[in-house]
Structures are given as structure tokens and as C-alpha cells.
Chain A
Amino acid sequence: MSNLERNMSLTAEEPAKLSLTQRIASSIGLIGLFLLALTLTNLSFPNKTLFLSLSLGLITVGTIIFANDLYLGKPAGVKNDGVWFKSLSARGFWAWIIGISLTLFYIVLYWYPQYLGLNAKGANTGIISFFDPLSQFINGNPASQWFVYGTLYTVAILIFGYKFILKYRQNRYEVIRTFSVMFFQLGFAFLIPEILIRLNQPYYNPANIWPLNYDLFTDYKINTFLSAGNLGVIMLVFSIISVFIITPILTYKYGKRWYCSWVCGCGGLAETAGDPFRQLSNKSQYAWKIERWVIHSVLVFVTVMTIAVVYSFLGDSTSDFWLTRDVFLWGSAGFLTLLFAVILIFKHKELAKDAKYGAIGYLVIILAIICINYFSGNGNIFFFAGYKLREWYGFLIGAVFSGVIGVGFYPIFGSRVWCRYGCPMAAILGMQQRLFSKFRITTNGGQCISCGNCSTYCEMGIDVRAYAQKGENIVRSSCVGCGICSAVCPRGVLKLENGDLDGRINSEEVLLGNDVDLMDLVNQKSK
């Protein structure tokens, strides 16, 4: 196929060529980035407020001018021309440069923040102190490396969100959804927690739900909540209600998209800054198999870890608090057993064989660990102290998986690697979506032409076409409902819908157009 896929530099003009305006815009943005980079050398600008504003401002203005020139003034429509010819979006040279830079940035951020200017003994320097004016303005304290990261993350979602809105401006679902992720990132993930700090309240983002927020029920967090009076208790109660009541109801009504592509910050970055890389996800059936094992293993890990940290937080005596270690442990075991039993009894027809084996296997492992701990009678649960498990989880899943691999590798593996293979929140919502939800992607009769745009641009690596060409609804636990498959479909075949539970999952061939009796026959045979 080399002939079809070589670089097209010899045609009249490269499809991916930058216009003059785009080059100027890129320069403006790069100057802003360069100012940021300069601070890494510990250079201290005379007027930090001015230079920080200038730096972030230039990055923003550059991106806006670039996006305007790229999309405005051209007819609204699918804008994927040359995606696979461009080095950045087709795993070429620039993809690797960006991928490696992002990865290095995450490694420094997590493990070597001193290179960013973190100073344990005195005032910070470097890029961290560069953000002091903004941090002082919002939360009243000097910046930390996490404030720098949070600011850059938010800026990325806002400016690339703007670009995304222009790119898909013909599609109101995409526009509204993108406003939503921009709003939740700026308000809930960035401003509210920082302002809470200013008010001497616990750092808390209501939209960051357990188990994505794996630290939420650790002892130091619970202590912070409990020592913060009524507001702290409300936060703690809201966190628990979020997990057990709010998320199941919303997922039942709208599918997991209400969170993954409307609210979540990880999803927000993937949908905006990660949009140029969505086509890089692996669509093979093999990848799907790996996905299911890895993501559910992470879910088991986070469940065990959380049970362990809560266990070590609690006391033994009922006179202090009704919820003792034993009550909690056996309560958790009972709850999990009940949950698995309900799923296996009422939904066993909808589960594949390996899903059943996996579920039973995982349950047995968790229960066995609980029993071993209980009868061995030592204070450690699951062979390790709870805080050790949390440390390992934080390192392996929180930092390496979601940060370094999840975002650093955007240009290589696509934008949703973390959401697809790693996020335990996505795993829970996915189970709900598959088994108890009104959401599905409807296929329009027999109109599919198997072109493959839907599968190619599915960031979750779902082979959408495999369903569409059979006239089958797409009901997949991993689907985050971004709506791009529907947006890029040239024949109007796909629609995201919340509807009746009856006939939601239809594994028969229901292609329309042919003799009705024949189609009946085809379906009888396949039963």
C-alpha cells in the first residue's frame, strides 16, 4: 500500500500545509511557550504578573488565531482532510517529539518537582514561582507544582476546547458537550478547590468522584473533612452519595457519557487537546480483550486498596463509632457479594462467558483476601498495610498509568488510553452502561456502507462499523458517548439515544431493505 500512503508532498500543494496566518499564530503561541520554558532555567522575570499574563495570553491568542484561520471562513463540515498525512496526527516525527516531551514533563512533575523549582526549605523558584501571582490571586498562597499543572491543564482544555468547537460547529451536540467540559474543568476542577483553600476549607472538587479520585477515602482526607465542620461533613456525605446514588441514576438515564465526555477532566483533556489523536486508538479485537482484563483489574485494585485504607482508619470499639473495622469489612464483603449475585442472576444472559468467569474470579479473590486477613488476625489487611497499598496504587495507577502513559502517549496510542484501559471509574460506569442504562447508539436501518469512518475516529477503539453494518445497536461498556462516530458518518447511520430498554441490545441482523421474510429467516437461523 506504500503507493497510497506515501507522503503527498509532490501534489499541487500539500493538504497539510500551513497558511501564512497559521504560521504567524504558531509563532505567537510558541513565544508564549518559550517564556514558560525560560522560567525552567530559573530565570526570574522582573514583573511576574506581566510575564505570566503575557505567556499564557500569547499561548491562548496563538491557538485562537490558528483555529480561526483553520476552520472559520470555510464551510462547516467534517474536517479530517490529511489527518493521516500529517506527521503530528499520524505518529510521525512531531508526534514522537510531543509524546516524549509530555512524558518527560510528567516524570519531572511527579518525581522530580525540584527541577520545576520546588524548594522544600524555602521559597519556590523556576516555573513554580512564575505562577505565584495567579496562585496568590486565586487561593492566597504561593503556587505549588500542582497549581502549575492544574493551570496549564485548564488552559489546554479551554483553548483546545475553543478549537474543537470551531471544528465541529455544525454539530450542536459537540458544541454543547465541549462547553460542558470546559465549564466543569474551569469551575469544578480548578476554581472551586482553589477558592475553598482560600476560605480555609478542604481542597475538594465535587466532580472528582471515587474511584477516579482514589484518595478520597484515605485517612488524611477523611480527617480533613471531619475537622472542617459542617461543610466537610457535607463533602464527605456528597462523595458517598455520588458513588452510590448520583452516578448510577445519571448513568441509567444518559449512559456514562454524562461523566466521561461531559464532566470529567481526564475526558475533557482527551476530547479537546487530545482530539487530533483520537484516530490512533487500537481497534483490533485483541486490544479489546486486553482492555477488559486490565481495566477491571485496576478496579479490583482500587476497591481492595480503598477497603484497606478505610479499614485502617476505623477503630475496633463500637463505643467510639458504630462503624467498626469488622462491621466495615463484613459489610463490604456482603455488599460486593450481593452486587455480583444480582448481576449474575438478572443479567447472566447479557454477559459473555469470559465476563462471567472474570467476575466470579475477581469476587473470589477479594473475598479470600478479606477472609485471610480476618482469620489471621493481624492489623494489616491484604498482607500489606493500607497506606502501602495506597502508595503503590498512587505510583502505578495514579501517576504512571493516568499521567505518563495516559497523556504523555496521546500522539502514539491515542487520547483515551487511560480512560479505556485504566480508569476504574470508567469501569464501574461502563458496567452500569452495559447492564442498566437507557443509552445506546442506534443504527439507522440498512444505511451503513461499511466505510469505517466511525471506527477510525472512535477514540475508545470500538469497532463501531462491526455493529453498524449488521444493523445492530452499539451498547458497549467502554463507549464514552463523545458522538464523533455519528458526526463523521457520511450517511446518517448513527445516533446517540436514551430510549426504551426493550430491544436495546439487538444482536440479530436487522438490516432493512431486503425481503422481510428473508430477514426473519436469517434471524431464526442465527438464534
Chain B
Amino acid sequence: MEHIVIIGNGIAGITCARHIRKNADAKITVVSAESEYFFSRTALMYVYMGHMKWDHLKPYEDWFWEKNRIELKKALVDNINFEEKTLHFSSNEKMNYDKLVLATGSVYNKFGWKGQELKGVQGLVSKQDLELLEENTRDCNKAVIIGGGLIGVELAEMLKTRNIDVTFLIREKAFWHNVLPLQDAKLISDQIRSHGVDLRHETEIDKITGDQKKGVTAVFTNSGEEIKCQLVGLCTGVRPNIDFLKNSRLETDKGILVDEFLQTNIKEVYAIGDCAQLKQPASNRKPIEAVWYTGRMMGETLAQTLTGNTIKYKPGNWFNSAKFFDIEYQTYGQVSAKPGQNEKQFHWQHKDKTKAITIAFEPTSKKFLGINTFGIRMRHPIFNRWLNEEQKIDHVLANLKQANFDPEFYTSYEKEIFKSFKENLQNP
């Protein structure tokens, strides 16, 4: 029987394994050094905050794997011999494979700051990071978070639940402004501040200092200010976890280079999820998209190819979601942080600063390009359809109620939004 080995038991690897099992009888082994069983990485924060226990993070009960004949191997892969098709584990064991799927995920960035190796300086990606955070915040009342992304704001929320003071240093002039348009970014900055986080815009780190015991004591900003702290959260993005593959025959750049079939330069070796870098991404898409949804979609796609139905990776319309303290965010289609000539944006904001939408459209054709929605839930299927149908912004706004996904009895804002659009954009 053919042996398919998947390295990594995150959403990409596990989705791939499940879908292979649906279509084929192959022997499937999933290797992970991180955890015994698949868990939801996006929910790590909830364990720290006491919303859930570790077991709640597992989307499948433990019997699921044996029942579906998916073998789980807890081991760290040291290196891979692509000629002999063998994996070499740190325990000196070996494993043969016929087809190999690399789904090794991400690790957090370190940009060579002075003091980044001190105790109490860490990021938050893996289960081990969470355990370390538990350790590092045992005697901590002040933390500094560096970098304004999704993990940064999650870490801030986590630490606040333990009554730890947080200073949050970000490079942009508003939170996540490299992704969000300025008004949206400002809304989130306000939200973060309203939760008692000391958010500093346009502030970067210069160095981290420590004491004799190699524990962190302070962060110095680029303006020379010293912020005393016992924890430094490194949240300046992630990069593919591929260090163990360097110096091999495998073609890599930032990530593992793959073609449209998610195949690497080596036959029968594939890469999916955060660690994969598409050589030719679709227009408007990035070569590396380290989000849950793309990991899942790549897993779905590759499983088809591996079971005899060769198919290209063609993600549909971009979508994503997040939560910033109490504000939920969803996005469908393209909304640029800094729109150029071919994109105009309509922004509406509720006066209580917890709800807003930004709709992007082409100024000449009025074609709807995408939406960011904050504090108002919207229906994915409807926006997906409108994007496929290339609807105009007028249609989207006139039918916005159809797309509302808020719970029953919620106040609706479609009329107000429509009126604001008429006043601000249609009759300038």
C-alpha cells in the first residue's frame, strides 16, 4: 500500500489527511513534534484566558484518528533524504514514504534585536510557546509587545486578562495599517486603547536589556525611552518553518517553492499551508498566505491530486476574519490599505466606535471590489456571489440587508449606511 507521510498536524496537514482518507485507501501517517493530536492553533489564546481547556481545542475526539486509519507519530524530523525517500527523526528513528507532504507551518520572526535571546522574550505560535508564556508570566506585571499584527493584539488581550500592564509598540500610524485602510486601523487603535493597553504608534524597538540571570528587564524604543518589563512579546509576523530543509535539494525561497499543483521541485514531494510559497500566485494574492483558511483549502486541493484527481490550487475570492478585543472583523474581496488610482473607498462608522464598514470599488465602473466589516457580521456566501457576479457598489449597498448575519433582534444599520453613501459619494 502506498504510504503518504504528512509532516505537520496543523489545519493544512490534517485537512489533507482527512480528504485523502475520504477518497483512497493509502496508508497515511501524520508526523508532528508539537502535539499528540490536532488542535486549533487560532484558539491557543482562549486556553490562556481560561475560556477553554486544552482538550476543547481538539476538533476531533481522540478515537477519530484510529477509526479513520490516520496514524499519528509524535517525532521531530531532523532531516529528509529525498533520494531514498526517508525521514530521519531526532530520536534516530527512520521512516520511509512514497509521497511526502510538507505542512510544517510557521515560526515567529526575530529580526536580530539586541537581547532577543533573553528569558522572557518570546512570540506566540506553537503549543510550546503557550507553555512558555505561562512560565514567563508567572511573576510578571508588565509586558511590552512589539509589532502590530493579529497575534500582537491577541497577546495583548490575553495578558490583560491576567492583569498584566501592556505597552504595545507598532511601526504604523494606526493598528495593522499595512493591511487596513487608515480609518479602519484607527478604529481598532481606539478599541485597543479603550481596553487599557498603552498603544504607541510609529514606535519601534531599539534593544532589549536584561539582568545577570538573563531575564529581560526593559525595552528601549527608537526614541531612546526605556520601558521596564518582565515580558517581551515578539509579534512582528511569522515566516515559514523550513530551517531544517535548508541545504537540501528542495527549492526554497522564503518558503518552500511550489507550482500550481502544490508540488515542489522534487517529484512526489508537496508543500501546503504556511510553509508553502507559490511560484505564481493568482492575481491579487500573495505567494505566502499564512492564514487558517488557505491552509485548509490547500489541504483540500492537494488531497485530490494525491488520490488520482490532479487539480490546480485555485483559491476563490479572498476572505478572512479576526477579532480585536470586542470588535469582530470580517473581510471579503480586496480592500487596500493604501488605495491607488483604481480603487475608491466608502467608509461608514457608527458613533459608538464599535461598528464600521469600508467598501472598496472601482471609481469608473463602480465595480464592487471588497468589504471590511467591523462589529457587524456579514454573510460569506452572499459576498462571494456578489464578487463572482462582479456586482456594482450600488447593488451591494441596496441589498446589504440580505448579507447581514447578526443575531436576531440586533439593530440594523443598512439604512443609515445607505444614506451615508448617498450623501457622501453619489452627490459629491
Complex contact A451–B40 (CB within 8 A): yes
Q: How many residues of A contact B (CB 8 A)?
A: 67
Chain B, Cβ-Cβ closest to A8 = B162
Complex contact A514–B315 (CB within 8 A): yes
Complex contact B139–A451 (CB within 8 A): no
Task: Judge if B296 is at the interface, Cβ distance under 8 Å.
Answer: yes
- Residue-by-residue, is A463-488 near B (CB-CB < 8 Å gives 1, otherwise 0)? 00110010000000000000100111
Task: Judge if B253 is at the interface, Cβ distance under 8 Å.
Answer: no
Chain B, Cβ-Cβ closest to A516 = B316
For A449, list chain B residues within 8 Å (CB): 40, 42-43, 292, 321
For A486, list chain B residues within 8 Å (CB): 407
For A497, list chain B residues within 8 Å (CB): 408
Task: Judge if A445 is at the interface, Cβ distance under 8 Å.
Answer: yes
Complex contact A12–B380 (CB within 8 A): no
Complex contact A77–B326 (CB within 8 A): yes
Complex contact B162–A15 (CB within 8 A): yes
- Residue-by-residue, is A432-454 near B (CB-CB < 8 Å gives 1, otherwise 0)? 00000000001011110111110
Among the listed stretches A82-90, A108-116, A153-161, A314-322, which one makes contact with chain B, having 4 or more residues with CB under 8 Å of it?
A82-90
State the CA gap A284–B60 with chains docked (Å). Answer: 10
State the CA gap A495–B410 with chains docked (Å). Answer: 12
The total of interchain contacts (Cβ-Cβ below 8 angstroms) comes to 206
Q: Assess A173 versus B407: contact at CB under 8 Å? Given A82-B161, A84-B52.
A: yes
Complex contact B195–A75 (CB within 8 A): yes
State the CA gap A82–B292 with chains docked (Å). Answer: 26
For A492, list chain B residues within 8 Å (CB): 321, 328, 330, 377-378, 405
State the CA gap A10–B137 with chains docked (Å). Answer: 9
For A513, list chain B residues within 8 Å (CB): 293, 297, 315-317, 319, 380, 384
Q: Assess A10 versus B138: contact at CB under 8 Å? Given A4-B54, A171-B407, A456-B51.
A: yes
Most chain B beta-carbon neighbours within 10 Å: one of A488, A511, A512, A516: A512
Among the listed stretches A237-245, A377-385, A517-525, which one makes contact with chain B, having 4 or more residues with CB under 8 Å of it?
A517-525
State the CA gap A452–B44 with chains docked (Å). Answer: 11
State the CA gap A522–B46 with chains docked (Å). Answer: 32
Complex contact A515–B377 (CB within 8 A): no
Q: Assess A515 versus B301: contact at CB under 8 Å? Given A285-B61, A483-B407.
A: yes
Task: Judge if B311 is at the interface, Cβ distance under 8 Å.
Answer: yes
Chain A, Cβ-Cβ closest to B138 = A10
Complex contact B380–A447 (CB within 8 A): yes
Complex contact B407–A3 (CB within 8 A): no
For B182, list chain A residues within 8 Å (CB): none
Q: How far is the CB of A489 from chain B (nearest CB, A)?
A: 9
Most chain B beta-carbon neighbours within 10 Å: one of A10, A170, A444, A492: A492
Partner of A445, one of B52, B161, B380: B380
Chain A, Cβ-Cβ closest to B293 = A513
Task: Judge if A500 is at the interface, Cβ distance under 8 Å.
Answer: no
Task: Judge if A290 is at the interface, Cβ distance under 8 Å.
Answer: no
**Residues of chain B from 37 to 71 with CB closer than 8 A to chain A in the complex:** 40, 42-43, 46-59, 61
State the CA gap A10–B134 with chains docked (Å). Answer: 10
For A516, list chain B residues within 8 Å (CB): 316
**Residues of chain B from 150 to 174 with CB closer than 8 A to chain A in the complex:** 161-164
Q: How far is the CB of B330 from chain A (nearest CB, A)?
A: 6
- Residue-by-residue, is A163-193 near B (CB-CB < 8 Å gives 1, otherwise 0)? 0000000111100100000000000000000
Complex contact A445–B381 (CB within 8 A): yes
Q: Assess A172 versus B409: contact at CB under 8 Å? Given A492-B378, A514-B297.
A: yes
For B23, list chain A residues within 8 Å (CB): 525
Q: How far is the CB of B18 from chain A (nearest CB, A)?
A: 10
For B40, list chain A residues within 8 Å (CB): 449-452
Complex contact A518–B300 (CB within 8 A): yes
For A173, list chain B residues within 8 Å (CB): 407-410
Q: Dominant SS at the A interface? A: loop
For B413, list chain A residues within 8 Å (CB): none
Task: Judge if A13 is at the interface, Cβ distance under 8 Å.
Answer: yes
Q: Assess A3 versus B43: contact at CB under 8 Å? Given A8-B162, A80-B50, A513-B319.
A: no
Chain A, Cβ-Cβ closest to B311 = A518
For B131, list chain A residues within 8 Å (CB): 3-4
State the CA gap A3–B300 with chains docked (Å). Answer: 34
State the CA gap A382–B319 with chains docked (Å). Answer: 61
**Residues of chain B from 326 to 357 with CB closer than 8 A to chain A in the complex:** 326, 328, 330
Task: Judge if A496 is at the interface, Cβ distance under 8 Å.
Answer: yes
Complex contact A496–B407 (CB within 8 A): yes
For B22, list chain A residues within 8 Å (CB): 522, 525-526
State the CA gap A473–B262 with chains docked (Å). Answer: 31
Task: Judge if B379 is at the interface, Cβ distance under 8 Å.
Answer: yes
Task: Judge if A81 is at the interface, Cβ distance under 8 Å.
Answer: yes
Complex contact B134–A77 (CB within 8 A): no
Partner of A10, one of B19, B139, B293: B139
For B51, list chain A residues within 8 Å (CB): 78, 80-81, 83-84, 453, 456, 488
Q: Assess A75 versus B325: contact at CB under 8 Å? Given A15-B50, A515-B316.
A: yes
Chain B, Cβ-Cβ closest to A77 = B326
Partner of A3, one of B19, B53, B55, B135: B135
Most chain B beta-carbon neighbours within 10 Å: one of A12, A82, A483: A12
For B50, list chain A residues within 8 Å (CB): 8, 15-16, 80-86
For A352, list chain B residues within 8 Å (CB): none
For B134, list chain A residues within 8 Å (CB): 3-4
State the CA gap A13–B164 with chains docked (Å). Answer: 8
Task: Judge if B271 is at the interface, Cβ distance under 8 Å.
Answer: no
Task: Judge if A455 is at the interface, Cβ distance under 8 Å.
Answer: yes
Complex contact B140–A172 (CB within 8 A): no
Complex contact A12–B140 (CB within 8 A): yes
Complex contact B59–A495 (CB within 8 A): no
**Residues of chain A from 123 to 173 with CB closer than 8 A to chain B in the complex:** 170-173
Task: Judge if A92 is at the interface, Cβ distance under 8 Å.
Answer: no
For A444, list chain B residues within 8 Å (CB): 377, 379-381, 405
Q: How far is the CB of B423 from chain A (nearest CB, A)?
A: 28
Complex contact A514–B319 (CB within 8 A): no
For B380, list chain A residues within 8 Å (CB): 444-447, 512-513
**Residues of chain A from 276 to 334 with CB closer than 8 A to chain B in the complex:** 284-285
**Residues of chain B from 224 to 251 with CB closer than 8 A to chain A in the complex:** none
For B94, list chain A residues within 8 Å (CB): none
For B163, list chain A residues within 8 Å (CB): 11-13, 15
Complex contact A491–B330 (CB within 8 A): yes
Task: Judge if B141 is at the interface, Cβ distance under 8 Å.
Answer: yes
Complex contact B309–A82 (CB within 8 A): no
Q: List 19 A-B contacts (CB under 8 A).
A: A3-B134, A8-B162, A82-B49, A82-B50, A84-B51, A173-B407, A442-B405, A446-B380, A450-B11, A450-B59, A456-B56, A466-B59, A488-B51, A490-B328, A491-B322, A514-B316, A517-B311, A518-B300, A522-B300
Which residues of chain B have a CB within 8 Å of any CB of chain A? 11, 19, 22-23, 40, 42-43, 46-59, 61, 130-131, 134-135, 137-141, 161-164, 194-195, 292-293, 296-297, 300-301, 304, 309, 311-317, 319, 321-323, 325-326, 328, 330, 377-381, 384, 405-411
Please give me the 7 A-B residue pairs with the lowest Cβ-Cβ distance, nearest first: A445-B380, A77-B326, A492-B377, A451-B43, A13-B163, A515-B314, A82-B50
Given contacts A450-B43, A452-B52, A513-B319, 7 further A-B contacts (CB under 8 A): A12-B162, A77-B325, A77-B326, A81-B51, A446-B319, A447-B319, A453-B52
